[in-house]
């Protein structure tokens, strides 16, 4: 892989001042970041004039269901239980390996177009999604989904074998143990999930305290909240990534904070499905590690981390004051925080870090005037300001274009239509 020099780019990390730099990418890392006085190089380095671009951290999507892109708009504006039982689950039951491949490709395209280079995925037919991620050049933590309600005993055994062998893991694609939730995973399988995560050093990723119903049912069944229940089972520690975390009691927050687990918030989905508004400020006050995710296309209805970032900042402000969760902190929640909990040495533009990033057009009308580059990026821009996206030292989007995107979109449209007609 050749070297790339981002010449005279306006580098912007969260919490730092922007600075014009020459950024050299060698292999898959930022190898050198210097003042813009680099002499011309004659060693075959590709030199890109970046006067017109800011280089900002890429997005890391902490929680999604990628292939549900095929269900975008299939069932909107209805409550969660009707949505799942009458629409989503019957549709999903029809999905083949090939459909999942097509849906994953649409999702990865959508993420790249909006600046995301990593996603943590909880879904089915995982090998198709892994293949697509490998091909399209980004990163993922692919969940092996555990549920003894939805998966047969043979399926569960195969899942644990898959994890024990670290099947298909690579530089960019990792696995994670993903017991779906406390309501469709038994005590036994929650414990076995944690044992596997501990033994093989995987993250444990779970839906947690998403709806009031989940809390009510748990209180009825186990006499405690979902957070207390996980703690009681020994399933709450620093390798846990809990998605949603909308309905935490004060005591839940104390327990969660002490455990070192991370909360992955999905504000668009939580509002849209009327699940509730997460207590962002209270969680921040207790120093709970916070990241953001989009949830799936059928509940959001997109995979745009920029929207999550802005909405998280806005909700925090209306909860705690206009000065709470400033732009730079919101950017961290959408980037480095998620990278960190997934063990990815990225999310900051710095020498030695993996070369992931977004080139943002400084002449986009929403990036002007440039009093506050991070503020413009977080509060004003949308994905139209993104020119190019780097992952692992190579361009996965360049000049607004992703290789093969027209085919990906066409195929996904045809596939979804076929599935819908086939009901």
Kind plus residue range of the DSSP H or E element containing 131:
helix 126-136
Q: 140 or 408: whose CB is closer to a copy of itself? A: 408
- Interatomic CA distance for residues 336 and 354, integer angstroms: 12
Strand pairing of 262-265 and 386-391? unpaired
Q: 8 or 145: whose CB is closer to a copy of itself? A: 8
**In the bound complex, what is the minimum distance in angstroms from residue 106's beta carbon to a copy of itself?**
6
Q: 352 or 413: whose CB is closer to a copy of itself? A: 413
Q: 334 or 354: whose CB is closer to a copy of itself? A: 334
Residue 59 Cα distances to 17, 134, 161, 248, angstroms: 19, 18, 31, 26
**In the bound complex, what is the minimum distance in angstroms from residue 350's beta carbon to a copy of itself?**
24
H helix intervals, 201-304: 212-222, 226-232, 250-259, 267-272, 280-285, 297-300
**In the bound complex, what is the minimum distance in angstroms from residue 120's beta carbon to a copy of itself?**
20
**In the bound complex, what is the minimum distance in angstroms from residue 327's beta carbon to a copy of itself?**
6
Cα angle value 31/36/42 (rounded, 5°): 65
**In the bound complex, what is the minimum distance in angstroms from residue 422's beta carbon to a copy of itself?**
13
- Interatomic CA distance for residues 28 and 60, integer angstroms: 17
Residue 301 Cα distances to 6, 91, 311, 410, angstroms: 34, 17, 14, 19
Strand pairing of 116-121 and 59-64? parallel
**In the bound complex, what is the minimum distance in angstroms from residue 105's beta carbon to a copy of itself?**
10
User: Which residues fall within 8 angstroms of residue 165, CB to CB, at 6 or more apart?
Assistant: none
Q: 46 or 76: whose CB is closer to a copy of itself? A: 76
Residue 79 burial (C-beta neighbours within 10 Å; 0-12, 13-18, 19+): exposed
Q: 112 or 175: whose CB is closer to a copy of itself? A: 112
Inter-axis angle of helices 305-320 and 327-334, nearest 10 = 140
Q: Kindly report the number of other CB atoms within 10 A of residue 5's CB atom.
A: 21
**In the bound complex, what is the minimum distance in angstroms from residue 359's beta carbon to a copy of itself?**
15
Q: 261 or 273: whose CB is closer to a copy of itself? A: 273
**In the bound complex, what is the minimum distance in angstroms from residue 296's beta carbon to a copy of itself?**
12
Q: 251 or 384: whose CB is closer to a copy of itself? A: 384
């Amino acid at each position: 892989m050749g070297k790339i020099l981002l010449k005279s780019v306006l580098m912007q990390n969260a919490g730092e001042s922007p600075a014009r730099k020459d950024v050299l990418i060698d292999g898959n890392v930022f190898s050198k970041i210097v003042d813009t006085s680099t002499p011309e190089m004659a060693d075959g380095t590709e030199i890109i004039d970046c006067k017109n671009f800011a280089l900002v951290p890429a997005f890391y999507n902490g929680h999604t269901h990628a292939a549900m892109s095929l269900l975008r708009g299939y069932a909107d504006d209805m409550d969660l239980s009707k949505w799942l039982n009458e629409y989503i689950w019957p549709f999903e039951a029809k999905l083949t390996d090939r459909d999942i491949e097509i849906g994953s490709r649409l999702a990865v395209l959508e993420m790249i177009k909006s600046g995301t280079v990593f996603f943590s995925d909880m879904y089915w037919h995982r090998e198709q999604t892994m293949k697509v991620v490998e091909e399209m050049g980004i990163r993922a933590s692919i969940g092996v989904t555990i549920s003894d309600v939805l998966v047969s005993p043979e399926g569960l055994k195969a899942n644990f074998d898959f994890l024990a062998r670290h099947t298909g893991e690579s530089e960019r694609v990792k696995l994670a143990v993903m017991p779906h939730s406390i309501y469709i995973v038994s005590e036994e399988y929650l414990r076995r999930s944690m044992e596997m995560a501990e033994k093989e050093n995987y993250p444990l990723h779970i839906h947690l305290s998403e709806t009031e119903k989940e809390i009510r049912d748990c209180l009825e069944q186990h006499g405690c909240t979902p957070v207390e229940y996980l703690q009681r089972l020994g399933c709450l520690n620093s390798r846990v990534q809990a998605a949603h975390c909308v309905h935490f009691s004060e005591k839940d927050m104390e327990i969660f904070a002490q455990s070192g687990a991370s909360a992955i918030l999905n504000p668009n989905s939580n509002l849209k499905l009327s699940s509730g508004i997460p207590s962002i400020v209270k969680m921040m006050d207790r120093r709970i590690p916070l990241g953001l995710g989009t949830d799936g296309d059928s509940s959001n209805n997109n995979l745009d981390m920029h929207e999550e970032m802005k909405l998280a900042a806005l909700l925090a402000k209306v909860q705690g004051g206009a000065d709470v969760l400033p732009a730079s902190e919101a950017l961290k929640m959408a980037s480095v925080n998620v990278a960190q909990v997934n063990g990815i040495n990225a999310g900051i533009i710095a020498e030695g870090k993996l070369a992931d990033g977004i080139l943002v057009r400084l002449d986009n009308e929403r990036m002007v005037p440039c009093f506050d580059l991070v503020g413009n990026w977080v509060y004003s821009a949308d994905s139209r300001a993104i020119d190019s996206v780097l992952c692992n030292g190579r361009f996965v989007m360049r000049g607004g274009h992703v290789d093969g995107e027209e085919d990906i979109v066409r195929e996904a449209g045809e596939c979804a239509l076929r599935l819908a007609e086939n009901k």
